[in-house]
Amino acid sequence: VGGSRVTLGRLIGLGGGAKVFRGSLPDWKNRAVAVKEMQHSPLSTGVREQREFDREVAILSEVKHPNIVAYFGACNHEPLRIVMEYCEGGSLFDLLHNSDVDLGWGQKWLMARGVAHGMANLHTQ
């Protein structure tokens, strides 16, 4: 998935070193995707950011598990972007901290178990 083949939509997340946009892939019938766009400080050469990007892409491209978002591709030129599965409803953190959503302990336990399975899979690959 090349960066030019991704249409960016609205900003859905912001964190240390990256912005996440909802996007679409016109070549894939406008499939909804999450696009992580790496940011770097104007004072930085970008070398460290490139290494972190390469590491994340290497890991995501190898991992296939139902409890880990699917990796679709990356754009290896500025801006550095990683294209992943879009998960409706936002992040797990946002869901757990949303006072409008009433999750029972059983649902929370199933989510925790899913996270544990995904993490265990990451550590064995």
Residue ranges of the binding site: 36
SS (H, E, C) the chain: CCHHHCEEEEEEEEECCEEEEEEEEHHHCCEEEEEEEECCCCCCCCHHHHHHHHHHHHHHHHCCCCCCCCEEEEECCCCCEEEEECCCCCCHHHHHCCCCCCCCHHHHHHHHHHHHHHHHHHHHC
| Token couple for 77 | 């030129």
Amino acid of residue 108: K
Distance of alpha carbon 85 from alpha carbon 107, whole angstroms = 22
Residue ranges of the binding site for ATP: 36
